[in-house]
Amino acid sequence: MNPITHLLEIDRLQTVFWNGREEVAAIEDVSFSLRAGETIGIVGESGCGKSVTSLSIMRLLGQNGRIRRGEIRFNSRNLVAESEKELRSLRGKEIAMIFQEPMTSLNPVLTIGHQLVEMIRCHTSLSRREAKAYAMEMLKKVGLPQAKDLMSVYPHTLSGGMRQRIMIAMALSCKPRLLIADEPTTALDVTIQAQILELMKSLRKESGAAIMLITHDLGVVAEMADRVVVMYAGQIVEEADVFTLFREPKHPYTQGLMASIPRVQGENERLRAIPGTVPSIRKMPKGCRFHTRCEWAAERCRQEQPQLESVGGEHQVRCWIVQEQASPLPVSANFQHQEAGV
């Protein structure tokens, strides 16, 4: 068997923010990895730490944020230890990110054309004229046929959806090895959304890029992802390949997310069927972080925190109830079936 080489390995990452009085952890013990050409979907309700995970990889945590523990290995380099200069040369070229809020990453005082051309020239050897032609080609690819006119306008004159597509054009134009897409299509209508997903697929196919796709839309995950990470309250609670996750979600939280998929086709609703809310990072419950909303919660769940553990192959779950069911082996027919399939 070939050794598995990972493009990205995140190992027990903890990212904290200073709130004026103390540092609070927004994500804790987050570990997962990604191979070249692979797409990982990251799902979870609002505030679970999806964006903080991606901003940690880019080391764009702002003044009050820092990585307190863990490693982020990209191509065997530990990004946590790299200098800001080294990171600047990686960002955009090797690792590109489509941000959840596109306005924050477009410069308001420069035209769209200027920003696109600079970005392309910074990471390729194209001449200004070639970079301009390429920029217009990319704008057309993201569903902006009026590319020529767009080159001379400023970001604030555009709608949120257009700005998002420009960001996507920028991110894809440098053919990154890792594309981090944070809710890339949420603000877009379904036709444009489908076009963008196709573009991401061709990036993956043509250049073998890995994609980290953060989304609330489980339909998009099913279509795009090879593997899925489910986050709850700053931690990974389940990870599995996409088929296993949809067929046999084990964590009660994942099961809740699955149950909340809108039944009406085309309805693009946010997930909200699980009663209760995600706990605040300032006041995490003792024991399992999900126990306050879990209908199966037992005494142990209220007292001790479960770890993320394999329940067969690469399927991992952070839940006492699931782990106790799975041990000692063999238990249920379900589990034996899954073991045999690995």
* Short-list 192, 146, 198, CA closest to 172: 198
Of 25, 32, 49, 51, which one interacts with Mg ion (CB under 5 A)?
51
Q: Which is nearer to ligand ATP, 180 or 317 (CB)?
A: 180
CB of 62 to ligand ATP, least distance (A): 5
Q: Which is nearer to Mg ion, 24 or 298 (CB)?
A: 24
Query: Is the bond preceding 330 in cis, omega lying within 30 degrees of 0?
Result: yes
Contact 264, 278 (CB under 8 A): no
How does DSSP assign 194-250, residue by residue? HHHHHHHHHHHHHH--EEEEE-S-HHHHHHH-SEEEEEETTEEEEEEEHHHHHH---
Of 50, 59, 165, 293, which one interacts with ligand ATP (CB under 6 A)?
50
Rounded-to-integer distance, Cα 310 and Cα 317, Å: 6
88-117 positions binding ligand ATP, by CB under 6 A: 100
Q: Which is nearer to Mg ion, 51 or 185 (CB)?
A: 51
Q: Which is nearer to Mg ion, 36 or 61 (CB)?
A: 61
- The one-letter code for the residue type at 50 is K
Of 8, 38, 49, 213, which one interacts with ligand ATP (CB under 6 A)?
49
Rounded-to-integer distance, Cα 53 and Cα 30, Å: 8
- Does the footprint of ligand ATP cover residue 48 (CB under 6 A)? yes
CB of 166 to ligand ATP, least distance (A): 20
Contact 244, 338 (CB under 8 A): yes
Letters for 185-224 (x = contact with ligand ATP by CB under 6 A, - = none) are ----------------------------------------
- Does the footprint of ligand ATP cover residue 184 (CB under 6 A)? no
Rounded-to-integer distance, Cα 229 and Cα 93, Å: 25
CB of 25 to Mg ion, least distance (A): 16
276-315 positions binding ligand ATP, by CB under 6 A: 281
Rounded-to-integer distance, Cα 15 and Cα 234, Å: 9
The strand pair at 95-98 and 77-78 is best described as unpaired
From 57-65, 79-87, 306-314, 327-335, span contacting ligand ATP (CB under 6 A): 57-65
Residues near ligand ATP (CB under 6 A) are 17, 26, 44, 46-52, 62, 64-65, 100, 281
